[in-house]
Amino acid sequence: MSFVEYGDTIKDGDTAIVFLGHESMFPVKVQHGTVTQTKYGVIRHSTDLIGKKYGSKVTCSKGGWVFILHPTPELWTMNLPHRTQILYSTDISIITMMLELKPGSIVCESGTGSGSLSHAVIRTVAPTGHLYTVEFHQQRAEKAREEFREHGVEHLVTVTNQDVCKNGFGVSNIADAVFLDIPSPWEAIGHAKSALKAEGGRICSFSPCIEQVQRTCLAMEEYGFTEINTLEILLRVYNVRTISLQTPDLGKAAEDNSSTAFDSSNPSNQGSPCANLQQGTVQFKSGVPLREMVGHTGYLTFATKS
């Protein structure tokens, strides 16, 4: 199992996603002799998981069932253990695009945090690229190394435990892109410039406060970065549902015409949209935005090394 290479069957030691529903799933480490409790009953790893194909429908001890999915960066973002605040798919998607990441890219990142963005970057730059990620907190850095090893991507990432604002990324003039998610990104702009390739490298800074953005933009200008721009991504989800509306009263003439044009007793008309007309109402599908939506997460500031 690897987060960048898909396998067919579940093996001992794999990380798998137990899917109970769109709003209910969790990761599990597959091990011989281990059981996992769910609301539908027990899943026995030795008999129910190991050797089965990913995507299989597994029946639990109480008769309910779940799907066992192959892990992906998207699923991991939704289910990972939170050691810090994380980036979600909405911001991650624009970051990977605006930094122009592709297979073979060299990327520097700070800080590693819970590894949400890290997994997405690794999948994007594989199989020949590399991620150099710096984490200030020692225990978080060690946990990130352990997860990368368990997920089969340790050959694509180097985790360093140090202060990026003082010591930089540990590499020079090789990175195609740099990402900063730290409290004072303006203090690391100089090190980011040193890590980037000679010309054309891209940088992105994620900050929740506009005051951080202002200081970071000033530092970018000072170090000669160009094409500086800041944006904010807001996700608005639409809910598709069936609604009923009353049909308008267009008068007796219109009623006569409609009865002539459509006869609900005629078998050839069964199943048509007009067959749903009951007691002066019509049903149709409508998309409406949710009453609540995810608000501000952070500002993304992008720039190019001149």
Residue numbers belonging to the annotated binding site for S-adenosyl-L-methionine:
114-117, 135, 163, 181
Centroid of chain to Cα 257: 53
The binding site consists of: 114-117, 135, 163, 181
Residues 6+ apart with CB under 8 A from 265: none
CB atoms within 10 A of CB 303: 26
Is there a contact between 83 and 34 (Cβ–Cβ < 8 Å)? no
d(CA 190, CA 304): 13
Cα-flanking dihedrals φ and ψ of residue 207, to 5°? -140, 135
Torsion, Cα 14 112 232 167, to 10 degrees, reads -160
CB-neighbour burial class of residue 44 (10 A; exposed 0-12, middle 13-18, buried 19+): middle
Dihedral (CA of 83, 85, 89, 94) sign: negative
